[in-house]
Structure 1
Amino acid sequence: MSRMIPINNRLLIIEDDPQIRHFMEYFLTEKGFQCQVADTAQEGLSIFVTQAIDLIILDLGLPDYDGAEVIQKVREWSQAPIIVVSARDQECEKIKALDLGADDYLTKPFSSSELLARIKVSLRHLSQMNNERAPIFSVGDLILDIDRRQARLAQEDVHLTPLEFQLLAYLFKNQGKVVTHQQLLKELYGYEYGTDTQALRALLAGLRRKIEENPAKPRYIKTEIGVGYRLTDQ
């Protein structure tokens, strides 16, 4: 059994814009979080390795190192959730950050309620992993039992192909988070599959036809245009 790690709502904010940094620190402290702040990548990494941090909020445009380098360094030895908050809104920047190991990506300007919602999703996911929850996932009327390899929708069995089951299981394990096309291709087909997303889109379309009441307006699997997909957590 893996070691249980308590989640104490300890956040590290790495942001060089003082106005945004102070806003996030004040707002999140008011919501009950313990916040550490840094305005450079080096200071942020120093705090992270010396203090117990549950989640990192990270700007990409830092004065000393690019935020992408921070993601890489953290992921060398920690799976603590990382939420990127950045003015960079290009799809390639989002995909790069997520593929390097970021858990989520918010484009500036963003609302305080959206930031709070993303933090709660990431911390809930971390807590579930630490508690080794039973491999039965659910959202709405959709239930996935990993051990029995069984899917049910509104109390009715849903017959999934092995790849459809693997795809849905991976989305459930990352519920509420954006999963990029490349992450899914790697999970389903391995590195050799390259960057061809046509088969992935076809597989996703088939899965949606089986679990969505209206595949054109999906309730469960949301498309993040140009980036990937997100399984809703509501």
Structure 2
Amino acid sequence: MRGLTPLLAIGLGLILFPASDAAAQVGKQSTLWTWTSGAPHHDAIVQVSLKGAIGTGIVIDVAKDKPVGEGFEGLCATAYHVVEPDEGKREIEVLYRNGKVAERALLLDFDKQRDLALLWVWVPKGIEPVKCAEKAVRPGDQVEIAGLGGGSKLDCCLRHFSSAASAPTNSDVILCDVALLPGDSGGPVFNADHEVAGVISGGWFWWDGGIQTDHGYPIQVTWPAKACNVSAIQQLHGKVPGWYRRRK
């Protein structure tokens, strides 16, 4: 993949995607990705929507002692640039794989430098959070990346593929020699134990990888995949549980 010539180099590829009716895993036939099998931990992945654009997110906490209607209070991690335009208006919507929708999600805390945000959100019954990893991803570790790139539908066509952390990976950032699509932003990086070890932010280089939507429109891919490492999630998560559990 490193031999490909990028069409455009930018400091950070911010990868959102307009809402669409795509009905397949976009890029499924491409050799750019090594696809993984569907698994229970994928059920905690969500679609995060704001102002007509979508990104991905992952439920990392559910307060079973704080019921709200047919669900509970919870926390969802996503990329900060996915929700930054909200500016406190609470127009963020979170869609779950069972079709339930949480409106007016609250941007609870964020780390702009590492492009990470936590949302306070209603989580429907039946959605279980995925545990955050205790140890950071290291170079050479095998990981799984999941997202809604290219407008893939959450209920049937979530993108999930394997990779390995590249040598520049450190305690703050995970880099993987694999491409991403618009819409993968905010998607989780899972470790070998299916724990959340990072959150996707984007890539540096864009090029035409021959990928198309279900409707035949070309989509550029970005490489390499960049994500915050788990330390950023641990720090934000550690600051907020007492606050959101006390909400009435």
TM-score by length of 2: 0.22
Whichever structure has more strand as a proportion of its residues is 2
Whichever structure has more helix as a proportion of its residues is 1
Higher relative contact order (CA 8 A, sep 6+): 2
Q: Which has the larger radius of gyration?
A: 1
